[in-house]
A and B are shown apart, each in its own frame.
Chain A
Amino acid sequence: MSHDIEQSLSAGESGPQRTRRILDSMGETLERGEVPIEILNDEDIYQRELTEIFGQAWVYVGHESEVPEPGDYRQRTIGEDPFVFVRDEHGKIRVLFNSCRHRGANICRAEKGNTTHFRCPYHGWTYQNTGDLVGVPQKGAGFDHLEAEEHGLREAPHVDTYNGLVFACIAPEAPSLEEYLGGATWYLDMYFDLIDMEVVGDPQRWVVDADWKTPTENFYGDNYHVPMGHKSAIDVGIGSETATGEEESKLYGIADCDGHAFSIYQIESEKPMFWGHPERVVETFNHDALDDDQYEVARKSGVTLGTIFPNLSFIFLGGRDDPNKDPVGTFCLRQWQPRGPGEMEAWNWILAPTDAPDEYKERVYEVGMSTFSAAGNFEPDDIGIWDGIDEAAGSVFAEQTEATTLFTMGRGENTAATVDDDWAGPGTAYANGGVTDENQLDFYRKWHETMTTEGAE
């Protein structure tokens, strides 16, 4: 490297300096409802997210119904880290690090299956599905000093389940999952306690040219984009009853809910809505699982969506794949997997009520797949729009001008989005939630707080 180049490089900002500048300035920009666009495509910010967010938070791993039998396993990632989500022979769910204690090779190489043991293909070290090391070839001859019980597979130190949803936290210290979810449990109960749900088949996975935060931000409650972004799907007659205007609804944006957020369309009607599930399916729900307030919100629910920090989103809606067919209630659970600055992999699981008839579950799957998935009628339009944000975010100009994205909707004096003090659930409920950015700002507040927490250096 020539002297001149070295000089000009040292005059610029180093990665850590840039990260510090962005995070420092973000404290102020958030106050005025703006977010530095640079965070959507920056190598140092991204590396810090892997350690400070995905390395600290409770991250979704899978649903219990994906590993129903002892020995069932699925490969999963926490951030970018490789884990095996397995139900061990005693029925306990574990999240094992997919790396042999000997030389680090993957001990599990299939995406899913059922096994009593994982055997490393390198030297043959063998582990039970509990993670215990039970076989070391030529142990007497070469490893007589090795304590097998101290060399089981490493595993996520915290694994817990909330109504079938399995989360893991890889940090040494963690709050309980219930504490982490906080007020979000009131909302999650409406889907996973009122209804026993199961995942149908395998998740759809696809690459997306966008940062993981872009869809996360959207699923924190960007209800402003629906009429424009999804016009093509609404025009062909497959929008939900609330999107097409067949049923008039009120939209509540739930912010200030322990870092998680929800959007809830309420249809004022005597008849039970329950996200478009028909009566014969609603009959199978656990009607005693909720308190009266929760039950009433569930009964009036049209579309509902939300996100559990950091990257687990869902949308629950009544929809169809053909205007000539009956709508069904379908639940798409999605995870925005970080795969690099400005790059991610989307995972989409479709869940159906466990006690519904098989032919109904099949329709739930078909409608979910046709709505939100790589080939869905709604989702690709979002993704087509997001492609390019990463380029703007990673630009010199964005850095030079400290460009921001804008989340000030609903801050004016005459805003239609007002706090509904009568809302029964946790968090702050904004009536006319389609014209406020408070939900989405919550994501960036939580993100910023997590990225700058003491000890995060």
Chain B
Amino acid sequence: MQDELERRRTLRLECEEFLYHAAELLDDRRLSDWHDLVTEDIEYRVPIRTTRERSSNTEFSEEAFHMKEDWGTLKVRTERMSSDFAWSEDPPSRTRRQVSNVRVIDYTDDEIELKSNLVIVRSRKAETDPDILSMERHDTFRREEDGYVPDWSEGGGLKLARRTVLLDHTVIPTDSLSIIL
């Protein structure tokens, strides 16, 4: 029992530190470093949400997305966003990611399934009224040697293998998604 509790605590701490680290990379616009932390078979999805009746079994589309990415398309996006000619991000928008409510759902020796909440506060130019993006993320982390390792950890590195972003918005409340969620 004590061992199990300790293991869950360690896992959650490890996941939280990975999420905080990834958020820092994105907030600091180190997009290529972020891309190094996704697995080669990553599935990254941001399905479109619609307002539905309560009786409807889901509000999220299975065929329509804002982003539906793999390793290659994420590489294209991160490279493009880093270009001197990506006008939507030059001057760059300023983002601050607030990660919270981290819940480990399931785990094996190789993979951890978790949920977390994310609020992104995004500002541009001299605007004092920032755009706020609110969402839940369902992630799967996988142990890979060249993944992220917190300095206290004795375990293997972590990479992002699957992410589904469940937005709280049906209309994206910011003028472009030229950022990674």
Contact = CB atoms under 8 A, between A and B. Distances in A.
B76 A201 contact: no
Given A111-B50, A206-B175, A375-B46, A369 B83 contact: no
A24 interface: no
B64 A111 contact: no
Contacts of B68: 365-366, 369
B77 A206 contact: no
B71 to A, nearest CB: 9
Contacts of A377: 76-77, 80
Interface in B55-73: 56, 61-68, 70, 72-73
Interface string A368-379: 011001110101
Most buried by A among B50, B51, B75, B176: B176
Contact of A324 (B52, B61, B62, B72): B72
A384 B176 contact: yes
B66 A373 contact: yes
A384 B170 contact: no
Interface string A94-120: 000000000000000111110000000
A211 interface: no
Contact of B64 (A201, A208, A370): A201
A361 B70 CA distance: 17
Interface in A200-233: 200-210, 228-229, 231-233
B124 interface: yes
Contacts of B64: 200-204, 350, 365
A323 B76 contact: yes
B175 A202 contact: no
Interface stretch (B84-92, B112-120, B142-150, B156-164): B84-92
A288 B31 CA distance: 50
By size class, the interface of chain A is 35 or more
Contacts of A210: 175
Given A110-B51, A113-B53, A205-B171, A381 B88 contact: yes
Interface string A40-60: 000000000000000000000
Contacts of B73: 321-322, 366, 370
B80 A206 contact: no
B10 interface: no
Interface string A286-328: 0000000000000000000000000000000000011111000
A154 B63 CA distance: 33
A383 interface: yes
Report the 10 A-B pairs with minimum CB-CB distance, sorted nearest first: A201-B64, A384-B88, A380-B176, A206-B172, A375-B177, A380-B88, A231-B85, A232-B83, A201-B63, A322-B72
Interface of B: 46, 48, 50-53, 56, 61-68, 70, 72-73, 75-77, 79-81, 83-90, 124-125, 170-178
